[in-house]
Amino acid sequence: MTSILRLSPNMHLRAVDVRGVLAHLSELRCVSVTGFSNVGKSEFLRLLADPQVWTAELGKRGAGFLPVYIDCNRMLEMTDQGFYELILRCLQETDPDLARNQELTDAYETLIAPRSEFQVPLSFNRGLDAVLHATDRRLVLILDEFDEPFQQIDSRVFLNLRAKKDRNWERIVYVTATVHALTGLRNEEHTGEFCELFVHHTWPLRPMTREDVRRWAEMAGERESPRLDEEDVAWMMLWAGGHPGMLTRLRSLLLPALEEAASPQARWSARRRLETSLIQDPVLQQECEKIWRQCSEEERIALTALLAGGGLHKVDESVVQGLRRRGLLQEENQDVRVFARLFAEFIQEQAGEQPAPQPLPPGPRVYVDEESGQVYLDGAPIPPLTRLEHRLMTLLATHAGAIVDKYR
């Protein structure tokens, strides 16, 4: 499996992200990769699942790891059995030797046709143990599109994964990819113990850097005509801000517009003509809508206030820091701006169609940082909470101004 982020056997985009995550994984520390819609989480995880990337970054040491990419969208059903089946299936698909391993095959057959429900976790454990006994390499389970399974299937599944890690600490490590931090998706007794594996190891995947976008455009240009020049790349970076989904769409719109543009002035004019219709483009609008839906109410208020000229001085610093960590806000020339002009114009359009967001009523303000789990009261961090207290604070923070019952 080759990621589009791979430029050559020894070169790839997102080098800083790759090195940062591999530094944790090589020390057997589990990593939670987070990022908003279409920022490139799946392609990044496919890059992490490439053995050549491991050897390129870690040398001979990288050959001692067996990365296994698991796309949770391939689950046949949203159950513990469906989750376990997918993991064993991906293990067989990843390594030819494992595909021929009889113990793993027997465990898989029992898992898909169990005589009782108890055989489901037992056969999964037996299959995973067979893998660990069959190879000397350290197993890296890379769980992509993990949001829905983590929120919906039996929480004992994640307690089982925690137990497997505890019993095989030096042999197995997990990577998950979700929009928000795991503790913000589900925080109860069994899942809480699983989330503890990722404490201090959340990796926010931000939009690509300008240099990565330039190299990405060069790579694409080898197969396309006309080729994009530096001005074209700068224009795409301005409007898409390194967001892969938006960049791909902008390129598909820009290339036909440049076909008859022979001079720099003609190219400039072609780009300007496109700008008038970008925000109405259904694909680009959908990309913006996805990101907007994944923002909390406080984040929306902060973004709207910034673009309305009100600044961020009245917004909780913890909210601003959260937006920066996710890459939605970026600093440029000592100023703070929304990462992409397209998304900024989308926010302004939303503000024009709806009543301006009202500040929350006076009183103590609760904010939960989804990535670190830290709870803030009126912008100040509070001491550590019990699991139930943390769930209550999360509920209050995410339902500000709403009436909720104890069954939430």
39 and 81 in a common domain? yes
Contacts of 74 (CB under 8 A, 6+ apart): 86
105 and 197 in a common domain? yes
* Secondary structure of the chain in HEC code, one letter for each residue: CCCCCEEECCEECCHHHHHHHHHHHCCCCCEEEECCCCCCHHHHHHHHCCHHHHHHHHHHHHHHEEEEEEEHHHCCCCCHHHHHHHHHHHHHHHCHHHHCCHHHHHHHHHHHCCCCCCHHHHHHHHHHHHHHHHCCCEEEEEEECCHHHHHHCCCHHHHHHHHHHHHCCCCEEEEEEECCCHHHHCCCHHHHHHHHHHCCCEEECCCCCHHHHHHHHHHHHCCCCCCCCHHHHHHHHHHHCCCHHHHHHHHHHHHHHHCCCCCHHHHHHHHHHHHCCHHHCHHHHHHHHHHHHCCCHHHHHHHHHHHCCCCCCCCCHHHHHHHHHHCCEEEECCEEEECCHHHHHHHHHHHHHCCCCCCCCCCCCEEECCCCCCEEECCEECCCCCHHHHHHHHHHHHCCCCCCCCCC
Least confident residue range of 102-106, 170-174, 215-219, 362-366: 362-366
Into how many domains does the chain fold?
4
Task: Decide if 1 is inside a domain.
Answer: no
Which comes out higher in pLDDT, residue 107 or 368? 107
Task: Decide if 287 is inside a domain.
Answer: no
Share of the chain above pLDDT 90, in %: 70
Strand order in the sheet with 138-144: 65-71, 138-144, 172-178, 31-34, 202-204
**For residue 102, is pLDDT > 70?**
yes
Banded pLDDT at 76 (limits 50, 70, 90): very high
Least confident residue range of 2-6, 195-199, 295-299: 2-6
Task: Decide if 282 is inside a domain.
Answer: no
188 and 107 in a common domain? yes
Banded pLDDT at 357 (limits 50, 70, 90): very low
What's the confidence (pLDDT) of residue 308? 85
Share of the chain above pLDDT 70, in %: 86
Helix pair 244-258, 210-221: axis angle to 10 deg: 50
**For residue 227, is pLDDT > 60?**
yes
Which comes out higher in pLDDT, residue 94 or 332? 94
What's the confidence (pLDDT) of residue 7? 65
Mean pLDDT over 209-225 rounds to 81
For the purposes of burial, counting CB atoms within 10 Å of the CB of 400, is it exposed (0-12), middle (13-18) or buried (19 or more)?
Answer: middle
Task: Decide if 100 is inside a domain.
Answer: yes
254 and 232 in a common domain? yes
What pTM did the predictor assign?
0.83
90 and 223 in a common domain? no
140 and 34 in a common domain? yes
Average pLDDT, the chain: 88
317 and 247 in a common domain? no
Task: Decide if 170 is inside a domain.
Answer: yes
Task: Decide if 126 is inside a domain.
Answer: yes
146 and 81 in a common domain? yes
170 and 220 in a common domain? no
Domain extent, residue 330, equals 293-342+349-353
- Report the C-alpha dihedral over residues 371, 372, 373, 375, rounded to 10 degrees: -110
Task: Decide if 284 is inside a domain.
Answer: no
